[in-house]
């Protein structure tokens, strides 16, 4: 059995660390750990857990629960980015989905009935599918640039939500619908369970079937994928449709949390957070290979950052400033020129040693 000398052991550790840091999603772990350390320093009870009225309480459960809407939106954004697209309309679709669901429930004879809630949920998700399919048609069938196609719905979607709510914050009393955001199963918040279930389904579909490989192929080279027989337009339209569905599902969680439809503010800015989560997770905006696990870490990073800013008493309006710094840093670290520069620096350092 070979015995490593201290010098060889040190070199081995450096190589392993260098290999890990070259993985794009590793930076999500680094940033998340840094934020956790900051939280532990300023909030000693950060890891404290307690059970109240049969539910799990604490900073970490709250962060994971609050991250559920962003988790759903980010998974949809991940698929769109993987095929070289972008979806700026997810916030508007979130708002429309929640508004339609509450409008249907409020218009039923008994808003507290499970039938009314099921109908409202179906209507909200259905609208999300239609809006996502609209984006997919513009991008895949007509050839409109993704940023333009989704920007149109980003602007028009808010107006559509305002039409549904008649320009007011519509409030509904429906305990079954409120359960989506406030309910628990074995002490675990319902939004956490919903988000975990969606992550599991997406992971199985993309990593246990050929679907994930086809999406990566389209993102890497759509022309070659088309020549290889892949239905590029159909798959591209499908990922936009899924993005709309997940955004609407996120709208159900948001609207059930406050039991009202706020067309102006629901999901405002969530598209930026979703893009940030995807980029932090190691997925390139140029398309191709994507990371589901990295996106999950990216979502948690964004949510921990938001929680930290709130806890420190800083205005929530400053969160985009910190997010902007992080996304610039991550993009620079992932840039090919930066990687080449770091390799030259490491080579020069080894030469000096």
Helix (H, G, I), strand (E, B) or coil at 51: strand
- For residue 174, what is the DSSP state? -
pLDDT of residue 1: 47
With beta carbons less than 8 A apart as the criterion, state whether 302 and 70 touch. yes
What's the mean per-residue pLDDT of the chain?
Answer: 85
pLDDT of residue 78: 96
pLDDT of residue 28: 75
With beta carbons less than 8 A apart as the criterion, state whether 93 and 157 touch. yes
With beta carbons less than 8 A apart as the criterion, state whether 68 and 253 touch. yes
- Helix (H) or strand (E) segment spanning residue 261: strand 260-261
- Taking CA atoms, 211 is separated from 13, 215, 236, 241, in Å, by 37, 6, 12, 15
Beta bridge partners of 188: 185
Beta bridge partners of 260: 171
Among the residues of 259-315, which ranges form H helices?
A: 270-280, 292-311
Q: Among 225, 313, 269, 259, which residue's Cα sits nearest to residue 70? A: 269
Please state, as a whole number, how many other Cβ atoms lie within 10 Å of the Cβ of residue 207: 12
Beta bridge partners of 171: 260
Instruction: Kindly report the pTM of this predicted structure.
Output: 0.86
The per-residue pLDDT for range 133-175, each reduced to its tens digit, is 999 999 999 999 999 999 999 999 999 999 998 878 778 888 9
- Taking CA atoms, 218 is separated from 243, 288, 290, in Å, by 17, 7, 12
Instruction: Tell me the domain boundaries of the chain.
Output: 68-275
pLDDT of residue 45: 83
The two tokens of residue 265 are 């503010």
Q: What CA–CA distance (Å, rounded) separates 317 from 315? A: 5
The per-residue pLDDT for range 58-117, each reduced to its tens digit, is 888 999 999 999 999 999 999 999 999 999 999 999 999 999 999 999 988 888 899 999
Residues of the chain with pLDDT under 50: 1
Q: What CA–CA distance (Å, rounded) separates 286 from 28? A: 18
pLDDT of residue 18: 55
């Amino acid at each position: 059995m070979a015995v490593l000398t201290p010098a060889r052991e040190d070199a081995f550790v450096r190589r392993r660390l260098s290999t890990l840091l070259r993985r794009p999603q590793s930076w999500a772990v680094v940033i998340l750990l840094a934020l956790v350390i900051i939280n532990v320093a300023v909030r000693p009870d950060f890891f404290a857990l307690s059970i109240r009225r049969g539910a799990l309480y604490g900073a970490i459960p709250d962060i994971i629960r609050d991250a559920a809407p962003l988790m759903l939106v980010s998974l949809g954004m991940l698929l769109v980015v993987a095929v070289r697209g972008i979806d700026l309309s997810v916030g508007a679709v979130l708002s429309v989905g929640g508004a339609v669901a509450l409008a249907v429930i409020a218009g039923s004879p008994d808003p507290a009935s499970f039938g009314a809630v099921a109908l409202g949920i179906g209507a909200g998700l259905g609208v999300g599918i239609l809006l996502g399919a609209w984006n997919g048609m513009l991008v895949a069938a007509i050839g409109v640039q993704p940023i333009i196609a989704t920007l149109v719905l980003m602007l028009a979607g808010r107006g559509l939500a305002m039409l549904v709510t008649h320009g007011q914050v519509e409030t509904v009393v429906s305990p079954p619908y409120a359960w989506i955001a406030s309910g628990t199963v074995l002490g675990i918040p319902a939004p956490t369970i919903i988000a975990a279930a969606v992550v599991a389904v997406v992971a199985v579909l993309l990593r246990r079937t050929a679907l994930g490989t086809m999406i990566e192929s389209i993102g890497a080279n759509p022309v070659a994928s088309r020549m290889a027989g892949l239905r590029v337009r159909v798959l591209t339209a499908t990922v936009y449709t899924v993005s709309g569905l997940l955004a609407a599902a996120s709208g159900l969680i948001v609207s059930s949390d406050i039991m009202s439809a706020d067309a102006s503010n629901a999901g405002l800015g969530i598209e930026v957070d979703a893009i940030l989560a995807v980029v932090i997770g190691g997925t390139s905006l140029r398309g191709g290979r994507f990371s589901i696990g990295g996106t999950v870490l990216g979502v948690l990073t964004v949510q921990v950052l938001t929680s930290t800013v709130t806890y420190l008493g800083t205005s929530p309006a400053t969160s985009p400033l910190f997010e902007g710094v992080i996304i610039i840093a991550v993009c620079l670290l992932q840039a090919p020129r930066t990687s080449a520069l770091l390799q030259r620096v490491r080579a020069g350092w080894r030469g000096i040693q």
